[in-house]
Structure 1
């Protein structure tokens, strides 16, 4: 009861209600919120601190920026219940929404310009001749039908996979070590109105999440960059729920040294035996597997084909019948 009363008291102020309504649309950083509401940063920071302390908002630092989003779990549920009682046609809320749309449009323009300058270097699937849509379809075919629950996308990149799976998850979190990638992902998710998805700067070796917190964890084209794949898989398994699914998507073994050097791959693919051993060491067992071949690039020189392997694994205890 104390937590509920604290949350209600925190929300019972006009500026804080406006902040809740804004952050329910998309995560915002402090300078964006000051721009939208036209209030000083010290005043706004105090309101935000009270909402975080009451469990209604979450706070995460990313370089010089501090981002705010609806808290997970009961805090988000309570915030949405409160917001559902606000009149949508209230002039102040309508003005806030217009200002928020302007800020989000500016964010999207900045992200598009950033992608225009550097995006080709980030589009690994295209570089490898792989279709993102085909890869996503193959990944989905490995998973059960219906709602997939809470999803963690490790190495989310531009957030494409979160957007694709958004209709089938209750909550999505994408992490990446690149602020540029996260800017692209935020713009993508905001444009697609994926309000239940967010992204965060984080290290895949030290995930900022509690144990057994996700129903689905995905590592898509990430593990070949890892110095210690076993450590990454152990950490992914740590945040996976007992009945959850871990999906690893990565290259099969190949001899394309040109690709590995150009894209800074640490590993030239993973053999079935090696991946089985890595997953077993993390307490997981393979439940399903697929493989797709990439089309051969046009080249005057002979090149070896590339294949992508998909492994759907679960905690070993979940597969015991």
Structure 2
């Protein structure tokens, strides 16, 4: 009943019709609806209290998104009924499309300004398409519930694995990169994925959340990679998997000076020790080495580890009774 009361108001239906399509800030919603910020904020507060939507702080901004479970599903049905030939909702949708287009242009400009550095890094190892193919081969084709992408950057991995997961979450510290990721997710219409601002050492993710957590080309930027692996392991469900992708040891010092790398690659022993400290079992590794005559290029290594806890429907025997 509380959900119905929260949704049963014209402005709140307009808000829900927009939030069904993705996450938006208060500023976004005021622009689209043409209403004051206090008015929009009050309606959003009521929807949050009813459990229909969720709020995600990101620096000075707060993003709102449709929640999960019963109240949110009821809201989806209400919106679906309301959208039939409603000119107000249609106009809101057109303004949302225009707003997203403007944000995509801003994101593209930010990305283009940094493309030279990223292109330089990519030229130092095997093509990215080969890295992505190796990642998919290690993960396998089986479907799973939740993907967590740490250091999501452009959100590429949320797109890469989109056919396999039911829910995708990308985490990054940079608001600019999150803008790029949101624009990319909007471009491909990937509504089951979302991105959040967060610290890789203190993730805004509950324990036992992810079936697959990925850390792709992030560890070499960190002062404490082992600590980040411990935090990534905390996010895994019993039997969940952690995929690490980074460079093998190398001596390209200019990557420290010009590309902000803190670590010049990682050895098998080093990563193996960190995984053991996180109580994860190393399942498989794969080295993507440069071709003949490419001595100055880097080896990309993939490590796949698994949470040691066993998922079972069978009763677990009590060892104290066996000893009695």
Please report the TM-score for the alignment, with normalisation by the length of structure 2: 0.90
- Computed over aligned residues only, the root mean square deviation of the Cα atoms, in angstroms, reads 2.1
Specify the alignment match of 1:110 in structure 2: 106
Specify the alignment match of 2:298 in structure 1: 306
Specify the alignment match of 2:206 in structure 1: 210
Deviation at 1:319, TM superposition (A): 9.9
Instruction: Structure 1 unaligned segments of length 5 or more: list them.
Output: none
**Maintained 8 Å contact 1:254/1:304:** no
Specify the alignment match of 2:223 in structure 1: 227
Specify the alignment match of 1:252 in structure 2: 248
Specify the alignment match of 2:318 in structure 1: none
In the TM superposition, 1:66-105 aligns within 5 A as 66-105=62-101
Closer, same or farther: CA 295–177 of 1 in aligned 2, 3 Å: farther
Q: How many residues align?
A: 312
Specify the alignment match of 1:146 in structure 2: 142
Give the SS at the match of 1:255: coil
Closer, same or farther: CA 194–147 of 1 in aligned 2, 3 Å: same
The CA distance in 2 between the partners of 1:206 and 1:306, in whole Å, is 30
The CA distance in 2 between the partners of 1:124 and 1:72, in whole Å, is 41
Deviation at 1:127, TM superposition (A): 4.8
Determine if the alignment matches structure 1 residue 177 to structure 2 residue 173: yes
Specify the alignment match of 2:265 in structure 1: 269
CA deviation map 1:136-191 (0-9, x unaligned): 11111111323222111000001111112222211111111111111111100011
**Maintained 8 Å contact 2:124/2:296:** no
Deviation at 1:18, TM superposition (A): 1.5
Q: Report which of the two structures shows the higher radius of gyration computed on alpha carbons.
A: 2
Give the SS at the match of 2:194: strand
Deviation at 1:128, TM superposition (A): 2.9
The CA distance in 2 between the partners of 1:155 and 1:196, in whole Å, is 18
**Maintained 8 Å contact 1:125/1:131:** no
The CA distance in 2 between the partners of 1:73 and 1:238, in whole Å, is 24
Give the SS at the match of 2:163: helix
Deviation at 1:123, TM superposition (A): 5.1
- Is 161-170 or 127-136 further displaced after alignment? 127-136
Please report the TM-score for the alignment, with normalisation by the length of structure 1: 0.90
Specify the alignment match of 2:319 in structure 1: none
Specify the alignment match of 2:10 in structure 1: 14
The CA distance in 2 between the partners of 1:34 and 1:73, in whole Å, is 27
Instruction: Structure 2 unaligned segments of length 5 or more: list them.
Output: 313-324
The CA distance in 1 between the partners of 2:70 and 2:236, in whole Å, is 20
CA deviation map 1:32-83 (0-9, x unaligned): 1111111111110011111122222121222332211122455544433433
The CA distance in 2 between the partners of 1:30 and 1:46, in whole Å, is 10
**Maintained 8 Å contact 2:126/2:288:** no
- Is 66-75 or 175-184 further displaced after alignment? 66-75
**Maintained 8 Å contact 1:20/1:70:** yes
**Maintained 8 Å contact 1:159/1:188:** yes
Determine if the alignment matches structure 1 residue 160 to structure 2 residue 160: no
- Is 54-63 or 237-246 further displaced after alignment? 54-63
Deviation at 1:306, TM superposition (A): 0.9
The CA distance in 2 between the partners of 1:108 and 1:199, in whole Å, is 15
